[in-house]
Structure 1
């Protein structure tokens, strides 16, 4: 695999066109369903979760990926539409079905599938409890982390973060992602209000999104595949595109009650 820091400038951006086009399509669809919210958003997220579980099951060697995807999609939708207490068991159910059906990588499937359903539940929760503007902030943190990391990693290069697992990820790109997330946090304070802790939370969510990306890279290495699927031109599969969102959304669910979201201004 070529080292981006040593690759000719034109080849560094060879995949930029397909990435931008598919990214714009995804962004347009995302903005539409986030604006509408409610059951439309829940159905959209449930379909995305089902497709990601399909990709996960295939990487885990399952010949029943379609069945596991259907279970995950329906379970995700029920978890989002039922009262929260009744919905919780459905966030875990696909993991048990996967354990019973898979021959190999049972716990890998179980852990990642739970994270996928939690993340989907979390996105709908953010939209319902905090509104579309704060949901846009969460999405922008992940997107800007990826974009800043992409360009800094290819234009600046430098030491690799974890070359054995993610050969293209550099420290320059990693830190640039944190800086981009901080700028998104600053913009959120300016437009939506809230205290300066929004900036720190944005950086933490950026880090979590990067860990989600690294975790998926490790899974793909173990499975011997380059992409989770070929559903999205320039991006691979849905899991490739939303691995960072998984990490950020799950962290947000964990800390939002502790930090009191949105944080109040100081003074």
Structure 2
């Protein structure tokens, strides 16, 4: 591949990425209802994209299930956790009665989408802005470092059958970038150097989320989850890493007492 062709998607990726980062940072900074609305909107649209991929003939269900995901992600921010968790799983159960194929894939991935959204809301509301910025930065740096290292260095592919563009060089660069982010935040918080290890694990979880979504696309025979974002594809293409990272942090955070040292 020529140097020009290798970077031919860079301009639209940068423009779209800058717009998404701006909107996201404003919502994260404001917190509260603005952040809840953004998370709920993204969750609902990702579920819509998911149904479009796994059961493309069910047009009405795409909107019904997407709307159910949006409403659920919005409501759970205001109810006690004991009631939030059954609500988070309701859209997954609803999908079984509305889909002709891909029901299990839909149910599992929808549950992950809504659990990830809920995890981000809890992180921002209860733990604070600094740690929400840490999570976002780890995921973004993992993606950016992986993209540039993979394009520049190339080398052996990570899982060619599922994701023919992801390389081991990009994967490892993502871990290195996450470690640097962790060390930076360890220096400005009481968390300590162990945060670098947690950051690498979160980076790995984000890559697992990315690979999982790639597997769904490969099975559905599509390149992108949708065409909503120029240069990036759909919201699932852009936020698949955040899904894995947020769900992992919800689980692992209980074991390490996240945030550590705080």
TM-score, length-normalised on structure 1? 0.95
Quote the residue 1:190 is aligned against.
187
Quote the residue 2:213 is aligned against.
216
Quote the residue 2:10 is aligned against.
16
- Structure 1: runs of 5 or more not aligned: 1-6
Q: Does 1:91 align with 2:85?
A: no
Q: Pick the aligned partner of 1:228 from 219, 225, 228.
A: 225
- Structure 2: runs of 5 or more not aligned: none
Q: How far off is 1:195 after superposition? A: 1.5
Q: Which whole-Å CA distance do the structure 1 matches of 2:227 and 2:144 have between them? A: 20
Q: Which whole-Å CA distance do the structure 2 matches of 1:264 and 1:73 have between them? A: 35
Q: Does 1:48 align with 2:48?
A: no
Quote the residue 1:37 is aligned against.
31
Q: How far off is 1:79 after superposition? A: 1.2
Q: Which whole-Å CA distance do the structure 1 matches of 2:96 and 2:175 have between them? A: 36
Q: Does 1:26 align with 2:26?
A: no
Q: Does 1:130 align with 2:123?
A: no
Q: How far off is 1:219 after superposition? A: 0.2
Q: Which whole-Å CA distance do the structure 2 matches of 1:193 and 1:225 have between them? A: 45
Runs of 4+ in 1 over 3 A off after TM superposition: none
Q: Which whole-Å CA distance do the structure 2 matches of 1:251 and 1:157 have between them? A: 28
Give the match's secondary structure for 1:168. Answer: strand
Q: How far off is 1:41 after superposition? A: 0.9
Q: Pick the aligned partner of 2:171 from 145, 170, 174.
A: 174
Q: Does 1:158 align with 2:155?
A: yes
